[in-house]
Amino acid sequence: MMYNMKYILLSSFLFLSSCAFAQNVTGNDDDKTEDIDLPEGMLVSDEELMEDYVNKENLHVIANPAIKDLSYDDSVLVSRLLRIPTTIEMPLNNVTRKFIEQYSNKRKRSVAIMLGSANFYMPIFEEALERYGLPLELKYLPVIESGLRPSATSRVGAAGLWQFMIHTGKRYGLEINTLVDERRDPIKSSDAAARYLKDLYDMFGDWGLAISAYNCGEGNVQKAILRSGNTDHADFWTVYDRLPRETRGYMPAFIAANYIMNYYCDHGINPYEASLPVESDTVVVKAELKFSQIASVCGISMEELRALNPQYRRDIIPMGYALRLPSSAIEQYVTHEVEIATTTPTDGSIRRPVVEDPETWRQTTARNNKRGRNIAAVSTAGAKYHTVRSNETLGSIAQKYHTSVKALQRLNGMGKKTLINAGKAIRVK
């Protein structure tokens, strides 16, 4: 109770004091901003969101739901924010209220669309955050970063759900080359984002500053703290007017995203039905494949393959990489993997021979299956990852997690390779 009273007083103080520095958000009908830029995820149109997520076969049933505009007093909004179980401070003030109004009124259709995909992505985000002991409410950062779209690319080149720039992505072990961009891989990018957020919090000791640094970089936040003259007790609100224009709205938008994803029902918002499968799993491909080869044999659309495997930039999966499929299609793939690998792509092009001797491979696969060494299907249920440190080897990692080198090679589609790079996240369970 004492904590709640302290929090309410803090929220009230911020609400009053915000008038001194938050006049940047105007109160006109267009909700235009003067000194705050909306985050990238809030600039995505409903039509763009609809292309990725909505099950168009059921669109006539759920499109344009009758949503009544519902507004609430500040006391109600403060009470709801306090009920969010988190260690991240989420005060209501003039700025955060404007963002809550954006999501609950003008962008309510976008919220309905994103809620449809949340069932697929949120468990992935939560597992990554839990792995590093971070507040689970950080799972809503991709709402404001990308609109929950792995295909998102910002105007400055950041990509994926978590909007990594190339240099930051590589620093946290994400592979980026002509065929593969792991910034768009939901599982690997979430692990990298959690590690990055942990490093930022360790640096600043305040989640508002850490979240801001995620948006504009550590250097810009450090400069804002120095310019504010409050180096000992700095937080987001004390350095607010010293932050870059695009970052001033970032923490308020994050608070608003947490609010609306928890209280959408109170604003009459109904989730749309997403086209993403409820359950999916991965297989490690034994030969370079094109999406069209998989689609023609397994009866899966190219659109669904791209939605489940957004990290492959040219619809090509290199040998030894993971392919995500609906759980219902895993058996079909494993049963027909040789046929898939030897099927001519529908565009008629093959970059290189996918299988030099199909019959030999078929016999080898059958022999491995008989011996219980089929490495085709690799489940991600309950997966656990380890970030490789300097001087670590597969052997030392296997010993640490009470497993074997062969098991690690199988889980990570490494074949017989033993080379691992520092900073790379590998699966250990």
Spell out the domain ranges in the chain: 2-267, 277-380, 384-429
Q: What is the pTM of this model?
A: 0.73
Count how many residues are written for the chain.
Answer: 429
Note the pLDDT of residue 126. Answer: 96
Highest mean predicted confidence (pLDDT) among 40-49, 67-76, 107-116: 107-116
Angle between helices 2-21 and 94-101 (to 10 degrees): 90
Coil, helix or strand at residue 306: helix
CB-CB contact of 225 with 69 (8 Å): no
Q: Which of 89, 137, 145, 182 is catalytic?
A: 145
- Residues 204-240: tens digit of each pLDDT: 999 999 999 999 999 999 999 999 888 888 899 999 9
Alpha helices in 32-140 (DSSP H): 46-53, 59-62, 74-83, 94-101, 108-131
Torsions phi, psi of 99, nearest 5?
A: -70, -35
Q: Which residues are bridge partners to 324 per DSSP?
A: 282
145 catalytic? Reply is yes
Mean pLDDT value of segment 101-125: 90
The residue ranking higher by pLDDT, 333 or 276, is 333
Name the CA dihedral angle for 237, 240, 242, 244, rounded to a multiple of 10 degrees: 140
- Specify the pLDDT at position 194: 97
Residue 12: pLDDT band (50, 70, 90) is very low
Q: What is the pLDDT of residue 161?
A: 95
Which residues make Cβ contacts (< 8 Å) with residue 3, sequence separation at least 6?
A: none
Domain 384-429: homologous superfamily in CATH: LysM domain (3.10.350.10)
CATH number belonging to domain 2-267: 1.10.530.10
